[in-house]
Chains A and B, each alone.
Chain A
Amino acid sequence: MKLLSEVTKGIIKENPIFVIVLGMCPTLAVSTSVDNALGMGAAATFVLICSNMIISLIKGIVPSSIRIPIYIVVIAAFVSIVDMSMAAFLPDLHKALGLFIPLIVVNCIILGRAEAYASKNNVINSMADGLGMGLGFTLSLVIVATIREILGSGTWLKMQVMPSSYEPMLVAILAPGAFITLGFLMALMNMMKEKK
């Protein structure tokens, strides 16, 4: 089914973080724990699906020269909606994600998909694409977060995983650990791509 492939391509083949290398900032900042990663992934996926849908809907009436500012307004509106809703209904997650909720606006993934896909395809396919990319983004976030949380706090989804004698590697949840973890993961992906 063509629609299903639209969704799944975003998960592995065109994974936004590991393959297209977009959306780095939130990946490193938010992947300190798996629940934060899931929250950010869900928020970004919601914005992706909605903005892809609207942008595909209005692609006929948007003049090409001002399409970028218009896409930005649409994306920013949905991000603001997510921001307010989270503050009202999920305050702890809202506090944990902090600055990076409004920064979903400049997450290159969302603008990138709007420009590359939603502006050229129909509404259903665009929403599927948004879902796939969002899932891929979330999956990558969770993978990085899993490594960082287990090594850095000894927990996974806040449940103790490592034996209590484990001295957490603090650097894993701090900035340097983020970069190094992602670097090695990317090298791993490259190795897997070579093998194919």
Chain B
Amino acid sequence: MMYYIKLGGILLIICVIATGILAYVNSVTEPKIIALKAAEAVKSREALIPGADFEEVKVSDDFSYFIAYKKGSKELLGYTFTAGKTGYSSKVLTMAGLDPQFNIINIKVIDQAETPGLGANCTAPSFSDQFKGKTQEQMLVDKDGGPIKSLSGATITTRAIANSLMEQIQVLKKDVDSHLRGNDTEIGNDVTLAKDKQEVGQ
């Protein structure tokens, strides 16, 4: 009996030492990792809607989006959000920038592990450029009757991106509308402002 206790004890001690060392390394690296991720997200947002300040709106635990105001003013430039759906072999995360009318300004696939040479080509501008200017209703791949051309040999990846965008734009639209109706005067005013600018032929 004592023999087994001694064995278990040695294993336990080694595990405890290992855990302690790992806890230390974790405390050093974790803040860096979080900071890296945040910086990357900021970079992506700024690439989608340049010259903007971003204000975060949390809709639920899984979804939040950013309202983009022109730097230094309260003029509404649009919104950015991240949508994700499982593609072929990974969850494909796409960040999109919308104009105040909820049309797509541009998209960027920020995380994926699809098949190299096929689905992984979704990060190429030649693919993402086709999303520019499209509306929420147009977020369907050609095989589902929409205008989005699938990557060759990677319909699943393309479909994941298009469907995730369609769903999240819907959620975003609903939330912005509910703010407007709920007399959130700030957003209401800005939307009017931008729309006026649009009509004047800005």
Contacts and interface: CB of A to CB of B under 8 A. Distances in A.
Interface of A: 32, 58, 61-63, 65-66, 69-70, 73-74, 76-77, 80-81, 84-85, 87-89, 91, 95, 98, 152-153, 168, 170, 173-174
Contacts of B36: 88, 91
B117 interface: yes
Given A63-B7, A87-B33, A81 B15 contact: no
8 contacts: A63-B10, A66-B10, A66-B11, A70-B14, A87-B29, A153-B117, A174-B115, A174-B117
A49 B21 CA distance: 17
B117 A173 contact: yes
A88 B7 contact: no
B10 A173 contact: no
Contacts of A61: 10
A168 B118 CA distance: 12
Given A65-B7, A66-B11, A73-B14, A80 B22 contact: yes
Contact of B25 (A65, A85, A168): A85
Given A80-B22, A88-B29, A98 B14 contact: no
Nearest to A65: B7
B124 interface: no
B18 A76 contact: yes
Given A66-B11, A73-B15, A85-B25, A168 B117 contact: yes
A85 B32 CA distance: 10
Nearest to B111: A95
A196 B113 CA distance: 44
Contacts of A76: 18
Contacts of B111: 95
B26 interface: yes
B95 to A, nearest CB: 16
Interface string B1-41: 00000110011001100100110011011101100100000
A176 B26 CA distance: 38
Contact of A84 (B10, B26, B113, B115): B26
A98 B11 CA distance: 29
B11 to A, nearest CB: 6
B182 interface: no
Contact of B18 (A65, A73, A152, A168): A73
A107 to B, nearest CB: 18
Contacts of A74: 14, 18
A179 to B, nearest CB: 16
Nearest to A99: B113
Contacts of A85: 25, 29
A70 to B, nearest CB: 6
Given A62-B10, A91-B36, A173 B29 contact: no
The 10 closest A-B pairs by CB, nearest first: A88-B29, A77-B18, A88-B32, A84-B29, A170-B117, A88-B33, A87-B33, A81-B25, A66-B7, A80-B22
